[in-house]
Chain A
Amino acid sequence: MPMTMDLFVFLVLALIAIASAVGMLASRNGIYAAMFLVLNFLTVAIFYLLLGAPFIALAQVTVYAGAIMVLFLFVIMLLGAEKLPPTTTLPYQRYAAYVLGGLLLVEFGYWVWRGALTGVILPPPSEYNSMAGIQGMSKLLFSKYLLPFEVTSILLLVAMIGAIVLTIKQKGGRG
């Protein structure tokens, strides 16, 4: 395959995504881990743009990189326990995790390598990644997927109540 501009952008982004994921895994400090994760979310958002999904890309930036990570950082700073001493009750667990993670990767690579998933992306139809694409998506959201959409609102309400109930401080008791 010739080295096109698309492929170049993809490879650079892939490198950043994997490096930031490994950095999140390896950093001792919780705040650094959160920052690496923000970087990873941003690169995944650019992947979405490359795949012609601008709405999902912007939702990724606002919901994941914005709201969720701010929540994470807030809790890390609130607890003030971002650094844990490297103690473990299962000494062999780290190596077992490497082996299992590698096994998962090999299994996945086998399925990709077997050629079951080598469809080449076709050039997009003209409306796929434009405003008309967002219109088509929202039409689908409010017609075919209306029930899941409404269930989502109930889920968010329940999550909000749950978070409040879990962290509320009771008088004289433990919260």
Chain B
Amino acid sequence: MVPVSYYLVISGILFAIGAAGVMIRRNALVVFMSVELMLNAGNLAFVAFARMHNTYSGQLFVFFVMTVAAAEVAVGLALIVAIFRTKNSINVDQMNSLKG
């Protein structure tokens, strides 16, 4: 069997790549995708720990995280569409004023 620490290493690498993506990319959609990647990395660590302790609570927490991610994506993409309508751009560098 594969040790838990291997899964945690993969989870950490994916999280670091997602964090770097949020900082590097200027496309708001890709920034959102990086946030999804980070949520996924957290979920992987949750499931690995749930397996280690032989409990279902970790899996159920992943289930709730997925619901929150779905809600977040729906509202976030709606925000991006609204911003694109007013600014004609989804470059996060140009989203520097609260008033449209």
Chains A and B come from one and the same complex? yes
With A25-B17, A34-B33, A81-B90 known to touch, is A100 a contact of B23 (CB < 8 Å)? yes
Main DSSP-derived SS at the B contact region:
helix
Interface string of A20-60 (1 = CB under 8 A from B): 01101100001001100100110010011011110110011
20 cross-chain CB contacts under 8 A: A10-B6, A14-B10, A17-B14, A18-B17, A25-B25, A25-B34, A33-B30, A37-B37, A40-B14, A53-B50, A59-B63, A64-B36, A64-B40, A78-B81, A79-B90, A104-B15, A109-B12, A112-B9, A137-B60, A167-B81
**A contact set with B: CB distance below 8 Å:** 4, 6-7, 10, 14, 17-18, 21-22, 24-25, 30, 33-34, 37, 40-41, 44, 47-48, 50-53, 55-56, 59-60, 63-64, 67-68, 71-72, 75-76, 78-79, 81-82, 84, 87-90, 93-94, 96-98, 100-102, 104-105, 108-109, 112, 117-125, 128, 133, 136-137, 140-141, 145, 148, 152, 155-156, 158-160, 162-164, 166-167, 174-175
Which of A52, A72, A84, A120 makes the CB contact (< 8 A) with B77?
A72
With A75-B81, A112-B12 known to touch, is A104 a contact of B59 (CB < 8 Å)? no
Which residues on A sit within 8 Å (CB–CB) of B84? 79, 81
Which residues on B sit within 8 Å (CB–CB) of A76? 29
Contact B1 A104 (CB under 8 A): no
**B contact set with A: CB distance below 8 Å:** 1-10, 12-21, 23-27, 29-30, 32-34, 36-37, 40, 43-44, 47-48, 50-52, 54, 56-57, 59-60, 62-64, 66-75, 77-82, 84-86, 89-91, 93, 100
Contact A112 B5 (CB under 8 A): yes
Contact B2 A50 (CB under 8 A): yes
With A22-B17, A105-B13, A159-B71 known to touch, is A118 a contact of B3 (CB < 8 Å)? yes
